[in-house]
Amino acid sequence: MAGYLLPALLLLTACQEAPSGAEPAAPEARAGEAEDARGGQALPPRAAAQAPLRVYDAVPVRRFPHERTAFTQGLFFADGALFESTGKRGASRIRRIDLRTGRAAREAALPDEIFGEGATAVGDRIVSLSWRAGRGFVHDLETLEREGEFPIEGEGWGLAYDPQADRLILSDGTPRLRFLDPETYEETGELLVTLRGEPVPLLNELEWVEGEIFANVWQQEAIVRIDPESGEVGGLIDVSALYPAAMREDPRDDVANGIAYEPGSGRLFLTGKRWPTLFEVELRERG
């Protein structure tokens, strides 16, 4: 599967290295896309040449501790605090984080059989997902106690809340994001995410950032910036320098995952699964 994950970053590199006016070289990994019924559609050269794709580096401005046991699946700000949801069966938690220590100031466990996934706040609730159990959970924002649940069709990966349209945004590992009513949790629509006309698979942790959807891409060292109307990726954030893969105990599992934006301050935080550090970053566009 790993070969299938490469198009975004390879494309990023190709964009940087291609001489002006030239088409980016087709990465070898694209051959694998023919196996995917959703992929493999050739992009007209003219459209590719016109597509603006901004590339950013995530530059750390502050570092905070992050618990090595936290298999980060969701990260978000609410009520002036940072919250995190974690995965793995028997270790799935919803946690209010003390930024100074990285530890949970308060936490609630999900049932032992549940593999926790993304989470976000909606009003005075936290909504969280499970991976393949078909269950979503509702927690009290203050106490974190579980006070309800709802069914999920298919897998649950990432979750964010769009305050402009008052809707939840759910990722499930496909290039398709789903919108859910934040009261009934019923699906109200969907969005195909594309980069230069090609579907972007494996969308993972999500964040609503000033009118854009930011998404980690599983096992990619890049965050995509998605237009919530068209689904087009207009920017890539390179996060490979934050915690290099070579330093990770398990490079396959301990991937970049976790994006939290604080609207009032504009602070953006990034981390990964079982990373020792939570990074506050600035985005610097490559010239």
Residues 6+ apart with CB under 8 A from 219: 2, 5, 202, 252, 255
Closer Cβ to Ca ion, 76 or 243, answer by number: 76
CA distances from residue 84 to 38, 183, 213 in whole angstroms, order as listed: 32, 22, 18
Cβ 72 to Ca ion, closest distance in Å?
10
What string marks each residue from 130 to 169 as x (binds Ca ion by CB under 5 A) or -? Answer: ----------------------------------------
Closer Cβ to Ca ion, 11 or 268, answer by number: 268
Instruction: Give the residue closest to Ca ion by C-beta.
Output: 207
Going by DSSP bridges, is the β-strand pair 194-195/125-130 parallel, antiparallel, or unpaired? unpaired
Cβ 157 to Ca ion, closest distance in Å?
12
Cβ 246 to Ca ion, closest distance in Å?
26
Asked whether position 117 contacts Ca ion by CB under 5 A, the answer is no
Cβ 118 to Ca ion, closest distance in Å?
7
The residues in 164-193 that bind Ca ion, with binding defined as CB under 5 A, are none
Asked whether position 76 contacts Ca ion by CB under 5 A, the answer is yes
Cβ 35 to Ca ion, closest distance in Å?
30
The residues in 188-227 that bind Ca ion, with binding defined as CB under 5 A, are 207
Asked whether position 243 contacts Ca ion by CB under 5 A, the answer is no
Cβ 49 to Ca ion, closest distance in Å?
33
Closer Cβ to Ca ion, 198 or 269, answer by number: 269
Structure token digits, residue 117:
């996934």
Closer Cβ to Ca ion, 7 or 235, answer by number: 235
Closer Cβ to Ca ion, 67 or 117, answer by number: 117
Contact window for Ca ion (CB under 5 A) among 4-12, 67-75, 129-137, 243-251: 67-75
Cβ 247 to Ca ion, closest distance in Å?
23
Measured at the CA of 279, the angle between CA 58 and CA 171, to 5 degrees, comes to 75
What string marks each residue from 6 to 25 as x (binds Ca ion by CB under 5 A) or -? Answer: --------------------
Closer Cβ to Ca ion, 117 or 198, answer by number: 117
- What DSSP string describes 154-219? S---EEEEETTTTEEEEE-SSSEEEEE-TTT--EEEEEE-EETTEE---EEEEEEETTEEEEEETT
Cβ 82 to Ca ion, closest distance in Å?
10
Closer Cβ to Ca ion, 72 or 194, answer by number: 72
Which residues of the shown chain bind Ca ion in the complex (CB under 5 A)? 75-76, 207, 259
